[in-house]
Chains A and B, each alone.
Chain A
Amino acid sequence: MNSVFDQALWAVGRGSGVVAIVLLTLSVLLGIGGRSGRAVFGMPRFAVTLVHRNVSLFSLLFVVVHVVSLFLDPFAQLRLVDFFIPFLGAFKPFWLGLGTIAFDLLVVVTITALLRNRIGPRMFKAVHWLVYAMWPVSVLHAIGNGTNGREPWFLVLAVFCVMAVGGAIAWRLHEDFVEYRNVRRQETR
């Protein structure tokens, strides 16, 4: 392999990882916004749902580009087993393992979301809650494993993402989160 190709793979691997973090963050924000039942971000409710779905699929696409390019890149020393089983990596096994976990969770969450109408709302919902584990794990992986992970510009980006999702979760936990909450008796079963 020539070194230009290796360089390109390396750049694509890093860049797609950063984009994936941003898209995952956006997806979480849209998901929480949609759950409120309100028309958030200046969009109608159905549009929030559609954008959430599309941003999520794009984030998976970038994650796939991220792992495939690094798999092909000899420097990253990624093996097939690292896609599925965490903490076996040759290089920074702990931080890579977090990436493995996040990747596996994202795959499971995406598959169940796409099969939502087959598996029913209970199963879908239970699996979808895993996002609240997947997202922080993926951010930690980016900071710990990324070549640029501890550079100021990325840390600023990461802090921005954490604050946005943290704010959204705080809103999610607030009792007035759901539209009509103040006039409804209680949540359904």
Chain B
Amino acid sequence: MTERKVTMHIDWTRCDGRGLCVELLPELLTRDDWGYPVGRGGSEIAIPQNLEYAAQDAAALCPTQALRLHK
């Protein structure tokens, strides 16, 4: 089995720091001084397999459609 590496791309031109993704992925994200998500990888957050569904929810529920998942 080859390991699929899922990453979550943050489109900063869209992100408005509403905080939904941080609630859904507290293991990976925190909020910076101004409420925008911070995670290891900056704009490309590596998603471990056990958090893939949570990441899909975050991408689907982001109010500004700033998140995209890609393998």
Contact = CB atoms under 8 A, between A and B. Distances in A.
The answer to whether A and B touch in the complex, with CB atoms under 8 Å apart, is: yes
Interface of A: 34-35, 37, 44-46, 49-50, 116-117, 120-121, 124, 179-180, 183-184, 188-189
A180 B22 CA distance: 15
Contact of A46 (B13, B17, B20, B35): B20
Interface residues of B, number: 19
A34 B61 contact: no
B49 interface: no
Contact of A180 (B17, B57, B60, B61): B17
B11 to A, nearest CB: 10
Contacts of A124: 65
Contacts of A50: 61
Contacts of A45: 18-20, 23
A184 B35 contact: yes
A146 to B, nearest CB: 34
A49 B61 contact: yes
B16 A188 contact: yes
B35 A37 contact: yes
Interface in B19-71: 19-20, 23-24, 33-35, 57-58, 60-61, 63-65
A184 B33 CA distance: 9
